[in-house]
Structure formats: C-alpha cells, structure tokens
Structure 1
Amino acid sequence: MRKKVLLFLTLVAVLVLLSGCTEVDQEITSESTGIWNQYFVYPLSWLISYVAGVFNENYGLSIVLVTILIRLILLPLNIKQLRSSKAMQAIQPQLQEVRKKYSSKDQKTQQKLQQETMELFQKNGVNPLAGCLPIVVQMPILIAFYHAIMRTREIGEHEFLWVQLGDPDPYYILPIIAAVATFAQQKLMMAGMSGTQNQMMPQMTMMLYIMPIMIGVFAVFFPSALALYWVVGNIFMVGQTLLVRNPMMKDAETGGNKK
C-alpha cells in the first residue's frame, strides 16, 4: 500500500512539474516556437480568444464553452475508461482468489499467477491497459489547455462573474466547487462497489480523498480562470459518469438475472 501511495504521489509531482513549470510564465503567441507551443498550446489559446471575441470579449464564458467542447471531443475515451474501470472492479474478487492461491514468491508460482491472471482477463474481456490509454491520450490535451489559459495574456485582464480571471478567487467559491465536483466524480466512479471491492482497490479509495484536496488547494492559489476550467470540467465529468454509469449498471443487473 505504501509503495502504491508513493507511486501515485510521484506521478502527481511529475504532472505538476510538466503542467506548472514548463514555460508557464511565457506568453503564448503566434510567434511562439516549438512543437508543443505551435501545435498544442497556441491553437487552444487562439480558440479561446476567438470564442471570447464572438461573445463580446467574454473570456470567462469562452473558457466554459471551450472546456465543454474539449470534454465532448474526449467523451469516447472517457466512456472507454469508465467501462474498463467497471470491468476491472467486477473481477476483483476472482482476482484476489487467484492471488491468494499463488501467494508464494518463487518463480514457478509467480509464472502460474501471471498465466491465470491473463486467462481471467481474457475470459471476462478485460484489458488492464485499456483504462490507462485514454488517460495517456487526454493528458497532453488537458495540459495544453491549462497552458493556453495560463499563458494567454488577455484572459487575466478580464472579469467573469465575481472574479478577475488572472487572480485567485477572493471568496474561495470556485475552489470549493472544484473540490466538491472532483469528490462527486470520484465517488460516482466507485458507486456500486462493495466494501470488499473497495478494500481490494485501495488506489481508488486513496484518490477519492487526495484528488479533491489537491484540486481545491491548487484552485485557491492559481488564477480563477484555471479554477473555472476545473469547475466546468469536473461538473461535466459528473454528468457524464451519471449518464454512462446508469445504463452500465442496468446491463450488469440484466446479465446477473439471466445467469
């Protein structure tokens, strides 16, 4: 468990380093050089500015609309990730039994463990890498959007609702909503899991509490434009999870009744 926590925190630290320290203080323009700037960050910055121009220079509304657009584009990947997560949850009891059966650490036993684990995955149509691929694909897009928000000078110069987009929320409303929405989304991901399954997947239980705290703390100190992005994105994810999870749960119940 301790190793898993350290691994998770290491991944978080790498993500923060990539998203927060790489050219984040340099304004993005059409003259910015490099593949990252030219093909990822600047197109998103241009899109935010274009949509803002359509709505009378309303950069806050533009962030809301562009965030929703990006989430819609990534929706198929998110659905695949959710289905993979649910499938992995469903076979946890069987997976635990296989691990207990081959608990010995000698090479022959470990090979047998790997063999039966793969057979279990194939029998249930579970690909352990399927849940990681959508995350790998999404991360460059989401980090680029973060950069576009942080490095587009015009965004910080405008107001939206009660906040100056370039400054932290003085009333902490957006950070609180972002944290609550993140918690709700993580909780929905775990809905339908038994107490035993929760114990078998401690990573999900850990993320249920770490992710909302992390997002909330970041949103307190970062510009409100970024907090707004997190709020809209996480609320969208809550709605997406509800829409996708309910049919999945019904299908699971139907399958169980047929058996």
Structure 2
Amino acid sequence: MENQRNLILTVVLMGLLLIGWDIGLRYFYPQSAQKPKAVASAPAAAGDAAPAKPTREGGLQNPADQALEKQDLTQALAAPTRVAIDAPGLKGSINLIGGAIDDLTLARHREALDKTSAPVRLFSPAGTPAQHFAQLGWAAKGSFAVPDQRTQWTVEGAKLTPATPVTLKWTNPTGQTFAIRYAIDENYMITATQSVTNAGAAPVVVQPIAQINRTDRTASVDTWQVHSGPIGAFDGSVNFATNYKDVTAAGTVAAAGKPNWIGFTDIYWLSALVPDAGAKVDGDYRALGNGLFLADLLYQPVTVAPGQTQTQNVRLFAGAKENKILEAYEKQGVTNLSLSIDWGWFRWFEKPIFWLLDSLFRTVGNFGVAIILLTLIVRGMMFPIAQRQFASMAAMKAIQPKMKALQERYKDDKQKQQQEIMALYKQEGVNPLAGCLPIFLQIPVFFALYKVLVLTIEMRHQPFGLWIHDLSSPDPLHVLNLFGLLPFTPPSFLAIGPLAILLGITMWLQFKLQPSAMDPAQQQVMSIMPWMMMFVMAPFATGLLIYWITSNLLTIGQQRYLYSRHPQLKAQGAKDQQDIDRAVARDKKASASNKPKAR
C-alpha cells in the first residue's frame, strides 16, 4: 500500500509539473503573433493599441501596430530629405531633418525562415510604432542656436558606404557651424565625428550629446536568464541589472560608472553608443512616457573660441550580436562588447562550448551535424569516467552480501551501521558516488548548450534536415494535429513531436539497461520518468533534443559495451530484478488477503 501511495503521489506531482511547465513556457516564451493577412482600412494609432507580450525574437506583435508601421515607413522613407546608407552589414538612410540615423535594416538577417523575407529592421523613424533611432547634437550654454530635431541639414556626399563617408552641416545666424561626419564599416559600426567651428565674435560653450531613442514595443522578452532592455559597460563591467520597468519607475537611472558603451539590447540585436576611450562622459537612461526611452551620452561642456573648432568622436553599434564581430570590435577598443551576449555566470564554460560548436559548424556546414559531433566529443571525453563508474557499480554489487549482513547486525544502531558501511567502502576501495559523476558532468554541458541555443544569433534559423528548419525553435510537427494536417496548435505540454517521442524511447531503453533499483516504488518512478521527460522537453529547441537523443544513443551503446566487460554486473542486475518481482508479488498477495471478504 505504501508503494501504491508513493506511485499515486508521483503521478500527481508529474501532472502538476507538466501543467506548470506549460504555463511557465507560455509566460516566459510566448509565441509570436501571426501577421494579419490583410491591412485594416483604418488601423489604430500606435499609442492606442495595447502592446502585445514580448517574444524571444522581439519586434511588433500587435497587428494594428504592424499595419501602421508599414504605412508610416512607406511615407517616411519616400521623403527626398534622406541620404542612403549602403554597406554589407547595414542598409538604410539618414534623415536630413534632424540629422537622425533612423532607418537601418540588417542585410545578413531575415525576419523569417524564408530567405526571400524582408531583412530585420532595427531602426525606424520617430513617430512610427517601432520607433528606434540614434541622434547626435549639442546643448547650448548660452543664447545661441544649436541644431534640433527640426533642423534641416545640408549634406556633402551622395551615399554613406564603407568607401564614401558623408558630412552633415548647419550654420546658425551667429556664425557657428555644426557638422557631423559619418563613416561606416563592413559590419555594424558607424563612426561619427561631431565638430563645432566658431566664426562668431565671441566664444561659445557647447555640450556634445549622443542619444539612442527607442520604444519597448519591439523589445524581446526579458527573463531571469536572458536580459533584454537597457545595457551598458561601466568602468569595464557590463551591467544587466536595469530593465525598462526600472527606468519607468525612476524616470532617470544614472549610469553605474563611467560609460564604456551604453544602449539597449534585445536577445539578438544591440544598439549602443561608444565614446572615445579618453573622453570624459556621463550616461543615463530616461523614460519619456508612452513606452519610449533614451540612452544618453553626455560629454563635458567645452569652450570654442572665435576662429577655433572643437571636435568629438562617438561610435554607434547597431546590429546583430554576432560573437566573432563583437570580439573584433573589442580588439578595436570597445570594452567587453562581446559580453552584451548575456552568457551569465558560467560564460567561462559556455563560450568554449560555443566556440567548439561554431568551429564544427564551419567545418561541416550544418549545425545539427555539429551538435551531433559535439555530443560525440563530450561523450568520448567522459568515457573513461563511465568506465570507472561501471567498475564502481560492479564493486558495489560484489559487496552487497557484506552490506546486508552489516545492516542486519546493526539494525538497531543506525549510527554504528553507517560507520561500519563506510569502513567497508574504504576497505574494498568502493566509491558509492562514482555512479553520479557522469550525470553531474553532463549537466553543465547541457546547460551551456541550452544557453548557446537561446542566446547566440549564429544558431538562429539554422536548418538540420527534413522538417527541422530552425534548430533554435521547438519541433514544428505535432502528433495531436497529425503533423499539421489538422488546423490547430496543441498546448505546449501536449505538443509532442517526432523528436520528443524519440527522446522518450531512447531514455526508456537507457533506463532498461541500467541496474534495477531495489525499491519497487523507485523502479516504477524510473519507468515513468522517460515519458515525463518526453512531455517536459517537447517545447525546447530542436537542437537540444538532438543533443539529448544522440547522448542517449551513445549511452546505450556504451552501456552494452561495458556490460560485456562486466558480466557479473548484468547477472547481479537480473537477480535483483527477480528479487523485486518476488517482493511485488508478495505485496500484492498480502494486500489481497487483507481485504474483507464479501458476505
């Protein structure tokens, strides 16, 4: 009866786990809303529609916002007051009204799996639902005019490319000429040189300013394990502690030290301002209301004497968080930019896993194959440990009779019994924890791979083969809707696909090969565990399931080989199973005999 109660309790807890898991996944990783098939004739204004819950990809989720964004972009980008940006990494334009960089798309990354889909849009003009732009300017310390958002700049140069910089200029009525020279590289870095030339009769005091302005409507989901929101490196340390809610509550959040760079991050994208290494700057985040935020770089005020020119440089990173590119910018002096990827506390382990996986991908050209090869390497490295594990298990089986004798002899003195058992372990050279070591070693590998698949854009939209087109997303096929033939999507805890089923089968086979647990209730729990894990793991990235399935298959092969090297372990396991079966039969017989007989 005790075993039956334990089993019932276990099943109930597993059911609660599955339901809670589904609720948690829907909360932390909601699915992207589908785009409307037709644009509404009169879409709501951006500020009127309630923002939808963020997703891992980020971007606008509300259909009304999506429709209005498309409409506003068509109108804004058709204006003649724009200078084109054409680089291998970035495409877009600069708005000569205000001088803002407010139109940027990422040429190497697409919105959807379809390679013909539109490139990912990072920057959008002010007033659009996806508002996100960078603007440079000055604050006047006196009664002279400085350029603002309504200023119309003149331009020298037809197009901003890696070979052709452009310069924006504007002169005020008192003789001060303001200029911004933009240069762009092959990837995601724009270098701006701000200058003020004073042709007036008196000195002027100006304060250079650089800002990134964005809405949180396009933000990706922010969770305890992956940060999305305000970010920066201050005094050499990257700070993930501030989110949009903090800035909204405080109004203004000062930088946690001298800014090395400051901006906003999503899981895959980053916009950040980078001052010169020797510049004296302050930084902060500000809430403007209606879900709009600023990241500021504030330089020290400078005096520009008549006939003199003051110059200040600032760089703008606007692009994808590709680790290799971020590390290259670090070598160019941008402190810890690669740590804008939220590796967490275990980056010392995650980054080598990523490096190995990325190296394998570059060799074989398929991330799924690279994950399988990574699994082979990890299992190969742990094979000597597994051999010691099986040797220890064989030794444990060999001393079982002595252990039972000690347990019987000291059954009334548990402390003495434990001392004698420990002495027996030492005498026989047996480590009872040796069997747990391979499991503990696999946990950081699994967690590191999980973080890599969630964080790194290198895995985004990477196919494997057959129906698996994105290794960073869950299995798209589900049994309950007949693999897409029926027009509905099951809830995540019932969204069982081929990979989840294969995971359950391989785990069940793996457990079948393991030595039987002496406790019948424990054995029943272990028999249910593979199918519970099938449900729990089904919503995870397909890359993780491929890793686990491969690991299970290798473990099965490894166990069969090691059993052939330790036949006494397999024989003892069969004997233990017979003992368990007899014990279960006795319990059933005793339970039946205790039932009251019908009169």
Q: Above 0.5 in TM-score?
A: yes
Task: Report what 1:183 is aligned to.
Answer: 508
CA, structure 1 residues 37+95, in 2 after alignment: closer, same or farther (shift >3 Å)? closer
Map 1:156-167 → 2, pairs under 5 A: 156-161=460-465, 162-164=467-469, 165-167=471-473
CA distance in 2, matches of 1:247, 1:233: 21
* Paired residue type of 2:362: G
Task: Report what 2:55 is aligned to.
Answer: none
CA distance in 2, matches of 1:223, 1:134: 23
Task: Report what 2:447 is aligned to.
Answer: 143
Residue by residue, what CA displacement relative to the aligned partner does 1:11-59 show, whole Å, maximum 9, x if unpaired?
Answer: xx9xx9xxxx762575684512777443111221122122112223x11
**How far apart are 1:179 and its partner, in Å?**
1.1
CA distance in 2, matches of 1:37, 1:110: 40
Which of 47, 52, 77 does residue 361 from structure 2 map onto? 52
CA distance in 2, matches of 1:134, 1:211: 19
Higher strand share: 2
CA distance in 2, matches of 1:96, 1:41: 44
Q: In structure 1, the residue corresponding to 2:432 is in which secondary structure?
A: coil
Contact 1:179 1:212 in 2 (8 A): yes
Contact 1:174 1:219 in 2 (8 A): no
Larger CA deviation: 85-94 vs 28-37: 28-37
The answer to whether structure 1 residue 77 and structure 2 residue 385 are counterparts is: yes
* Paired residue type of 1:71: R
Higher helix share: 1
**How far apart are 1:200 and its partner, in Å?**
4.7
Contact 1:71 1:233 in 2 (8 A): yes
**How far apart are 1:133 and its partner, in Å?**
3.7
* Paired residue type of 2:473: D
CA, structure 1 residues 147+60, in 2 after alignment: closer, same or farther (shift >3 Å)? same
* Paired residue type of 1:96: K
Q: In structure 2, the residue corresponding to 1:199 is in which secondary structure?
A: coil
CA, structure 1 residues 252+51, in 2 after alignment: closer, same or farther (shift >3 Å)? closer
Q: In structure 1, the residue corresponding to 2:518 is in which secondary structure?
A: helix
Q: In structure 2, the residue corresponding to 1:77 is in which secondary structure?
A: helix
Larger CA deviation: 176-185 vs 22-31: 22-31
CA, structure 1 residues 206+80, in 2 after alignment: closer, same or farther (shift >3 Å)? farther
CA, structure 1 residues 221+53, in 2 after alignment: closer, same or farther (shift >3 Å)? same
CA distance in 2, matches of 1:160, 1:141: 21
Task: Report what 1:199 is aligned to.
Answer: 518
The answer to whether structure 1 residue 237 and structure 2 residue 555 are counterparts is: yes
The runs of 5 or more residues in structure 2 that have no matched partner are: 22-222, 228-266, 269-320, 328-337, 479-496, 572-599
**Bigger Rg, structure 1 or 2:** 2
* Paired residue type of 1:249: P
Task: Report what 1:111 is aligned to.
Answer: 415
Contact 1:155 1:225 in 2 (8 A): no
Identity %: 30
The runs of 5 or more residues in structure 1 that have no matched partner are: 254-259
* Paired residue type of 2:468: V
Task: Report what 1:154 is aligned to.
Answer: 458
Which of 218, 224, 232 does residue 542 from structure 2 map onto? 224
CA distance in 1, matches of 2:418, 2:384: 30
Moved beyond 4 Å, runs of 4+ = 24-28, 200-203, 250-253
Contact 1:102 1:110 in 2 (8 A): yes
**How far apart are 1:252 and its partner, in Å?**
8.4
Task: Report what 2:155 is aligned to.
Answer: none
**How far apart are 1:140 and its partner, in Å?**
2.2
Task: Report what 1:63 is aligned to.
Answer: 371
CA distance in 2, matches of 1:81, 1:173: 32
Equivalent pairs counted in the alignment come to 230
Residue by residue, what CA displacement relative to the aligned partner does 1:204-253 show, whole Å, maximum 9, x if unpaired?
Answer: x2563243124311331111111111111111111111111111116888
* Paired residue type of 1:23: Q
CA, structure 1 residues 96+202, in 2 after alignment: closer, same or farther (shift >3 Å)? farther
**How far apart are 1:113 and its partner, in Å?**
0.8
**How far apart are 1:144 and its partner, in Å?**
1.6
CA, structure 1 residues 45+234, in 2 after alignment: closer, same or farther (shift >3 Å)? same
Task: Report what 1:23 is aligned to.
Answer: 225
Residue by residue, what CA displacement relative to the aligned partner does 1:127-177 show, whole Å, maximum 9, x if unpaired?
Answer: 223233443344323322232233222323122122132222214111111
Contact 2:410 2:416 in 1 (8 A): yes
Q: In structure 1, the residue corresponding to 2:474 is in which secondary structure?
A: coil
Which of 124, 129, 142 does residue 433 from structure 2 map onto? 129
CA distance in 1, matches of 2:557, 2:533: 19
Residue by residue, what CA displacement relative to the aligned partner does 1:70-113 show, whole Å, maximum 9, x if unpaired?
Answer: 11111112222233234334434543343233222xxxx22321
CA distance in 1, matches of 2:520, 2:402: 13
Q: In structure 2, the residue corresponding to 1:221 is in which secondary structure?
A: coil
